[in-house]
Amino acid sequence: MTMASDGIRAHRRSGNKAWKQVVASYREPSVWRATWQLVNTLVPYALLWCALYWAIGVSYWLALALVLPAAGLLVRLFIIFHDCAHGSFFKSKAANNLVGVVTGALTFTPFHRWRAQHATHHASSGDLDRRGAGDVWTLTVREYLERSYWGRLWYRLGRNPVILLLVAPLFYFVVVQRFCPNSARRRERHSVYWMNLAILGLAATLSVLLGLKAYLMIQLTVMAVAGTAGMWLFYMQHQFDGAYWERRGEWDYTAAALQGSSYYKLPPILRWFSGNIGFHHVHHLSPGIPNYNLERCHHADAMFLAVKPITLLASLRSLSLRLWDEERKRLVGFRHLRPALRAATP
């Protein structure tokens, strides 16, 4: 039995009231902190766009070097957008909506549509019977073995690091989010349509100012790098050794947050660029905590300190984890299936 499990069991026995009291003071948004975070993210991001435009005419290598901090700031902007979707960045609902729409335009993400999808993710994370809403596509071992050859191949392609981390993120932000199913609520559909117009207007304006070629080079390169970094963070939040998955009847919100969401212990500079999202166990337990309070909340109670951290180096091993083994209750790689696949081959 781990320290984390002990802490979770203790808080289950005392009920939700215990952890809600712990996080209560950290759920309070700060106008000063939020405003300063906007300033120290938006201003350097705009300046880096100017620098990238200048660098393209000097050296592509110089431009590529500037892409890295620009992409980091775009990730940080997405975290601000994410907080606004939770209504946690500012106390004012109107301010959260306004900043959410503006940062949504910069990250190519429709605010109201994404907010609805993300709320479903928080309500179902770690639930095997409610997969598919805002999470990384994950099959159980049995589901994978029951698929046809082509079904297995399709899943392997989807979980291939090149597709997952390099191709999928840019495709998702540039293409997938431009559409919305008719089954979505009217406000969500309108959110997509209006965001598409906003992105088109912003792209047209910057193309006139910078030139179409320069705009596309900067926008797509920065988004591609930011998308890869963002997808890696998102992958590591729930795809790691020791993750939590249960069937609906056994699923527990507190366990899903503290065991099924990682504490990704990043270096300070990466923690800054990623808006403290590495404290994902705290965020999933209480999504109303703004990103600028997550670290302080983590250090406030033994319940959080008992969660085993994942270091940057150790996280690389998670790429080999592709399937959930319900019998062993852990993520496994495809190598785990070789004996079963050989036995099934006539």
Give the C-alpha distances (Å, rounded to integers) separating 176 from 107, 169, 244, 276: 13, 10, 28, 27
The reported pLDDT for the residue numbered 133 is 80
pLDDT score at 340: 60
The mean pLDDT of the chain is: 92
Q: pLDDT class for 19, splitting at 50, 70, 90?
A: confident
Average pLDDT of the segment spanning 72-97: 98
Give me the pLDDT at residue 336, please: 84
Distance of CA 232 to the CA centre of its chain: 8
Residues of the chain above pLDDT 90, percent: 86
Q: For residue 78, count CB atoms less than 10 angstroms from its CB and return exposed for 0-12, middle for 13-18, buried for 19 or more.
A: buried
Compute the distance between CA of residue 304 and CA of residue 301 in angstroms, rounded to an integer: 6
Pairing relationship of beta strands 323-325 and 139-140 according to DSSP bridges:
parallel
Residue for token pair 């073995």: 145
Pairing of strands 309-311, 263-265: parallel
Cα gap 179→131, rounded to integer Å? 21
**What band does 13 get if pLDDT is binned at 50, 70 and 90?**
very low
Nearest to 187 by CA among 260, 251, 252, 114: 114
pLDDT for 156 beyond 80: yes
Neighbours of 279 (CB within 10 A): 29
pLDDT for 18 equals 77
Residue 250 has pLDDT above 90, yes or no: yes
Q: What is the mean pLDDT of residues 175-182?
A: 94
Global pTM reads 0.92
Beta-bridged to residue 323, according to DSSP, are 139, 332
What length is written for the chain?
A: 346
Decide if 132 contacts 182 (C-beta within 8 A).
Answer: no
Mean pLDDT of 4-27: 67
pLDDT band per the 50, 70, 90 thresholds, residue 1: very low
For 73, the token pair is 């700031």
Q: Give pLDDT, residue 36.
A: 98
Q: State CA 253 to chain mean position distance.
A: 19
Q: Which residues contact 39 (CB under 8 A, 6 or more apart)?
A: none
CB-CB neighbours of 90 under 10 Å = 23
To the nearest whole percent, how much of the chain has pLDDT over 70? 92
E runs forming strands in the chain? 139-140, 263-265, 309-311, 323-325, 330-332
The residue range of the domain holding 100 is 3-344
Looking at the predicted structure, is the pLDDT value of residue 11 above 60? no
When pLDDT is cut at 50, 70 and 90, the band that residue 135 belongs to is confident
Contact 234, 82 (CB under 8 A): no
Would you say residue 5 has pLDDT above 60?
Answer: no
The pLDDT confidence band at residue 14, using thresholds 50, 70 and 90, is very low
Rounded to an integer, the average pLDDT of 158-175 is 96
Report d(CA 136, CA 152) in Å as an integer.
16
User: Which two structure tokens, joined as six digits, stand for 272?
Assistant: 């800054």
pLDDT of residue 71: 98
| Confidence tier at 176 by pLDDT (50, 70, 90) | very high
Give 185-219 pLDDT, tens digit per residue.
999 999 999 999 999 999 999 999 999 999 999 99
Q: Kindly tell me if the per-residue pLDDT of 223 is higher than 80.
A: yes
Q: Determine the Cα–Cα distance for residues 37 and 77; give it in Å rounded to an integer.
A: 9
CB atoms within 10 A of CB 123: 12
pLDDT surpassing 70 at residue 233: yes
**Pick from 85, 103, 94: which is nearest to 195 by CA?**
103
Name the domain count of the chain.
1
Give the per-residue pLDDT at 3: 45
Residue 291 pLDDT greater than 90, yes or no = yes
Q: Give the residues across from 127 on adjacent strands.
A: 246
CA distance 48 to 145: 48
Whether 155 and 141 have beta carbons less than 8 Å apart is answered as no
Mean pLDDT of 254-275: 95
